[in-house]
Chain A
Amino acid sequence: MMYRSLFPRDLFAELDRLQREMQQSYELSPSIRGVARGGFPAMNVGGTAKSVEIYAFAPGVDPASIDVQLEKGVLTIAGERKAEAVPEKASVHIDERFAGRFRRVVTLPEDVDANAVSAKYRDGVLHISIQRRAAAQPRRISIG
């Protein structure tokens, strides 16, 4: 335990470690690309035995301008949200809403079927549903 006494515990390093551990415990599959919290659009991801469901909260975006790509197990959602026009001589009191180009990437589980994807935009939420391959779905094996 010489090491400990030579290098007393650094409080900030400990906090850092704690934060990493907490992040890993609630993000079930931490990915090498990470998941940037607080980005635009905010994302919820869930799954059933048959599909992976992704919800991107992207209000006020023209659905035709959203670019959704699925390549090598990585889903990319990109687009642009234009800033609201501010008339001349107007003053902006609060400016919290995101404006500009956005891009978010999600690593998908290995068993998804890239050919069975559906994407819908409703009430400002882009919902992408990707089927899992049949072979990967749980099957009941009967005993003969």
Chain B
Amino acid sequence: MSEQTRDTQTPEPTLMPPVDVIEDANGITLYADLPGVPKDKLSLHVEADTLTIEGEVALDIPEGMEASHAEVSLPRYRRVFTLSKELDSEKVGAEFTHGVLKLRIPKAAHAQPRRIEVRVE
């Protein structure tokens, strides 16, 4: 799994959510921080070997509020990854709690580790 840094599809600026990517023998687990994104504004898209994570921030903002300090200054997150061949993109599992997305991408059965006997002749 690698990241696509070049992105020509969306000209609008977006925030890049921080992620953790952990690989074990059976697959990859990805965690992404998307605070402020409600479940219905989160979009996960797998097309061919491209995984796109997008989310729109929806905060409770009282009428007439003026911002005086903003560290999260854009209302949209976006990050794109390229999945490698051995990952089974049809079996991606997703959980989204308290603004943290957890994705589990299993490896295809044929890509699971096998112990290879070394024969000595």
Show the binding face of A for B, using Cβ within 8 Å.
27-29, 35, 37-38, 41-49, 51, 53, 55, 57-61, 63, 84, 86-87, 89-98, 120-125, 127, 129
Evaluate whether A97 and B66 lie within 8 angstroms (CB atoms) in the complex, with A46-B61, A89-B25, A125-B59 already known: no
Say yes or no: B98 contacts A124, CB within 8 Å: yes
Say yes or no: A44 contacts B99, CB within 8 Å: no
Query: Known pairs A44-B72, A49-B64, A91-B23. 10 more at Cβ < 8 A?
Result: A53-B61, A57-B36, A57-B72, A86-B22, A89-B25, A97-B18, A122-B60, A123-B99, A125-B36, A127-B60
Contact with A along B45-59 (1 / 0, CB 8 A): 000000000000011
Distance A95 CA – B23 CA, assembled complex (angstroms): 12
Which of B38, B60, B62 lies in contact with A48, CB distance below 8 A? B62
Contact with A along B7-36 (1 / 0, CB 8 A): 000000000001111111100110101111
Residues on A with beta carbons closer than 8 Å to the beta carbon of B28 = 93
Show the binding face of B for A, using Cβ within 8 Å.
1, 3, 18-25, 28-29, 31, 33-38, 58-72, 97-100
Least Cβ–Cβ distance between A117 and chain B, in angstroms:
15
Which of B33, B38, B62 lies in contact with A51, CB distance below 8 A? B62
Say yes or no: B34 contacts A59, CB within 8 Å: yes
Say yes or no: B22 contacts A123, CB within 8 Å: no
Residues on B with beta carbons closer than 8 Å to the beta carbon of A47 = 65-66, 68
Residue of B nearest to A53 (CB): B65
Least Cβ–Cβ distance between A79 and chain B, in angstroms:
12
| A and B contact pairs by CB, cutoff 8 A, 9 listed | A44-B71, A47-B65, A47-B68, A59-B100, A60-B31, A93-B1, A98-B18, A123-B99, A124-B36
Distance A125 CA – B38 CA, assembled complex (angstroms): 10
Residue of A nearest to B1 (CB): A93
Distance A44 CA – B36 CA, assembled complex (angstroms): 12
Least Cβ–Cβ distance between B17 and chain A, in angstroms:
9
Say yes or no: B35 contacts A45, CB within 8 Å: no
Least Cβ–Cβ distance between B73 and chain A, in angstroms:
8
